[in-house]
Chain A
Amino acid sequence: MSDIKIKIKDREGVLHEVDAPTDMNMNLMEVVRSYELAPEGTIGVCGGMAMCASCQCYVISDHDLPEKSDDEDAMLAEAFYVEDNSRLGCQIHMTSDLEGLEVVLAPES
C-alpha cells in the first residue's frame, strides 16, 4: 500500500480527506488537481515550476517538510497572502513521511 491520507481544506473552507499516492512522483498541487479541489486554471498555472504561487497553501500539521528551495522561497517573497507556514504545493512531494499532512489552500490571487 503506497497511499497516504492527507487533509486538504479548499478555498471555500470545505475539508477533504484524500488518498495520495506516493509512487506516482506526484506533488501536493497535483493531488489537489487530481481530486479537482480547486477549479482548473486557478491552481498549478505554471505547471509546477515554482513560478506562479497559484498552489500556495498553509501547512497546519507539524510535519517535518523538506527545506524550501531558493526558487520557492523567492516566489513566496513575491506572492500575496503569505504566512509563516506558507508553502508552494508543487514543491511538496508525496512521500510516506507525510502521512496525516494537513493543509489549507491559500486564496486565489
Chain B
Amino acid sequence: MIKTDILIIGAGPTGLFTVFEAGLLQLKCHLIDALPQPGGQCSEIYPKKPIYDIPGFPEVLAGDLVSNLMEQIKPFQPGFTLGERAQTIEKLEDNTFVVTTNKGTKHQAPIVAIAGGLGSFEPRKPLLENIGRFEDKGVAYIIKDPEIYRDKKVLIAGGGDSALDWSIFLADVSKEVTLVHRRNEFRGALDSVEKVQRLKNEGKITLITPAEVIGLEGDKQLETVLVKIAGDDEPVRKQIDNFIPLFGLSPKLGPIADWGLEIEKNAIKVDNTLDYQTNIPGIYAIGDVNTYPGKLKLILCGFHEATLMCQSAYQRIYPDKKYVMKYTTVGGVNGFDGSKKEAPKAVVKVIE
C-alpha cells in the first residue's frame, strides 16, 4: 500500500503543480496516470506545440512546460504510479480513501485530488466487429513487452509515430513485420520515416499502402487478417501471429464516472465558491476534469484551482492547526530532500 497525504489522479500540468503547492504546506503527494510518462495531454498530444497564455511565459512548448514543472516539484519528491489507471475508490472508517488501479496497485490518502483532464487515454480501436474476440489472442493495441513478438509474424496498422517506431523496433525482433496504412504518406519524425524506407528497401519491413485491414479470422487465436488495398476488388489474406493497430489514444472519463461523484457534461461538478471540492468531502476535482459556472479549460485556471484546493486539503488534514499563507519569496522553498531555496539576503554595509 502506497501512503501519502494527497493522492493526485492525473499527472498533467495541474496535477504536477499541485505537488508544489502541497509541498509548500509540507504535504506529500503521489500521482497516478494511465500514460507511461507525466505531462498528460501536453506530453501525449502536443509536446512540440507552443502555448502562449502561461503567465510569465510569452511562449513555451507544451513539452518544456512539463519539464519545467517536473523541475519545480522535484524538491517535494512526488511518487508516481504510471501506466496504470485509477479504477476503484473506497472510503475507510478513518475517513481515508483507498484507490486501486487496474493493475491492482493500492494507494491510501486522506485527500484525493482528481486532476484527470479529459479522462484517461485509451487506445482507439479499429472498427472490426470481431476484434474484441481476439484481444490478447493475437490483437493488442499497446505494446507492453516487445519480447512477446520475438520470431513472430507481426502486422502493424497506422501512420503515425508509434506505428513507425514500433515497425522499426520489431524489424529486428520479429520474424516478419508488415506495416499497413491507408495512405502512402506517413506522419512522423523525418528520421523514423527514412528508417522505415531503408528497412523496406532491405526487405525487413513489408509495406502495404494505401490499404486497410478489413477483417480478422482465426479459431481460438488470430490466424489471418484481410487487407484490402485501395482500388482492388478483393482483399489479400495474410497469415500472421499478431495484429497491432496503432491509431492513437483518445481520452475517456472511464471508471471515475462510477465513483459516485456528481457529473455534468462529462466533467465533475465542484464547489467553485470555496475549494473545488466534489460532492464527496475529501475528494477534490481540479483542472479540465471539473466544471462549475463559468469554467474555462485552461492550464492557468488549473494552477489556480490546485492552489486553493491544497489550502483546503491542509485544513482538512490539520483542522486545529493555525496557518497563514506565506509568499515563497519570504518563506523560500524547503524541499523534502533537504534542499532549500531562498531569496538572497540584502547586504547591510556602511559606505564610507
B187 proximity list for chain A (CB < 8 A): 70-71, 74, 77-78
Q: Cβ of A81 and Cβ of B127 under 8 Å apart? A: yes
A41 proximity list for chain B (CB < 8 A): 118-119, 251, 253, 265-267
Which A residue sits closest to B119, measured CB to CB?
A41
Q: Does B75 contact A (CB under 8 A)?
A: no
Q: Cβ of B46 and Cβ of A78 under 8 Å apart? A: no
B119 proximity list for chain A (CB < 8 A): 41
Q: Does A54 contact B (CB under 8 A)?
A: yes
Q: Say what secondary structure dominates the interface of chain A.
A: loop
Q: Does B160 contact A (CB under 8 A)?
A: yes
Q: Does B126 contact A (CB under 8 A)?
A: yes
Residue of A70, A73, A78 near B247 (CB, 8 A) is: A78
Q: Cβ of B266 and Cβ of A77 under 8 Å apart? A: no
Encode B248-287 as 1/0 by CB contact (under 8 A) with A: 1011010000000000011100000000000000000000
- Tell me the bound Cα distance from A78 to B187 in angstroms: 10
Which A residue sits closest to B288, measured CB to CB?
A41
Would you list which residues of chain B between 96 and 135 have a CB under 8 Å from chain A?
A: 118-119, 124, 126-127
Encode A26-43 as 1/0 by CB contact (under 8 A) with B: 000000000000011110
Q: Cβ of A77 and Cβ of B159 under 8 Å apart? A: yes
Q: Cβ of A49 and Cβ of B124 under 8 Å apart? A: no
Once A49-B46, A78-B247 are accepted as A-B contacts, the answer to whether A39 and B265 lie under 8 Å apart by CB is: yes
Q: Cβ of A77 and Cβ of B181 under 8 Å apart? A: yes
Q: Cβ of B185 and Cβ of A77 under 8 Å apart? A: yes
Residue of A45, A71, A109 near B118 (CB, 8 A) is: A45
Q: Does B137 contact A (CB under 8 A)?
A: no
Would you list which residues of chain A between 29 and 83 have a CB under 8 Å from chain B?
A: 39-42, 45-46, 49, 51-52, 54, 70-71, 73-74, 77-78, 80-81
B118 proximity list for chain A (CB < 8 A): 41, 45
- Tell me the bound Cα distance from A78 to B209 in angstroms: 13
Q: Does B45 contact A (CB under 8 A)?
A: yes
Q: How many residues of A contact B (CB 8 A)?
A: 19
Q: Does B175 contact A (CB under 8 A)?
A: no
Q: Cβ of A51 and Cβ of B124 under 8 Å apart? A: no
- Tell me the bound Cα distance from A101 to B201 in angstroms: 46
Once A74-B185, A77-B185 are accepted as A-B contacts, the answer to whether A52 and B267 lie under 8 Å apart by CB is: no
Residue of A39, A49, A52, A70 near B266 (CB, 8 A) is: A39
- Tell me the bound Cα distance from A54 to B187 in angstroms: 18
Q: Does B316 contact A (CB under 8 A)?
A: no
Which B residue sits closest to A107, measured CB to CB?
B127
Q: Cβ of A77 and Cβ of B182 under 8 Å apart? A: yes
Which B residue sits closest to A109, measured CB to CB?
B124
Residue of B159, B160, B265 near A40 (CB, 8 A) is: B265
A49 proximity list for chain B (CB < 8 A): 45-46, 49
- Tell me the bound Cα distance from A97 to B160 in angstroms: 33
Q: Cβ of B45 and Cβ of A46 under 8 Å apart? A: yes
A70 proximity list for chain B (CB < 8 A): 187
Encode A80-91 as 1/0 by CB contact (under 8 A) with B: 110000000000
B248 proximity list for chain A (CB < 8 A): 52, 78
Apart from A70-B187, A74-B183, A109-B250, list 6 A-B contacts with CB within 8 A: A41-B253, A41-B265, A45-B251, A49-B46, A73-B183, A78-B158
Task: Give me the 9 closest cross-chain CB pairs, A-B, nearest first.
Answer: A41-B266, A74-B187, A40-B265, A77-B183, A77-B182, A80-B127, A78-B247, A40-B266, A77-B159
| Interface pairs (11), CB distance under 8 Å | A40-B266, A41-B253, A51-B45, A52-B250, A71-B187, A74-B159, A74-B187, A77-B182, A78-B247, A78-B248, A81-B127
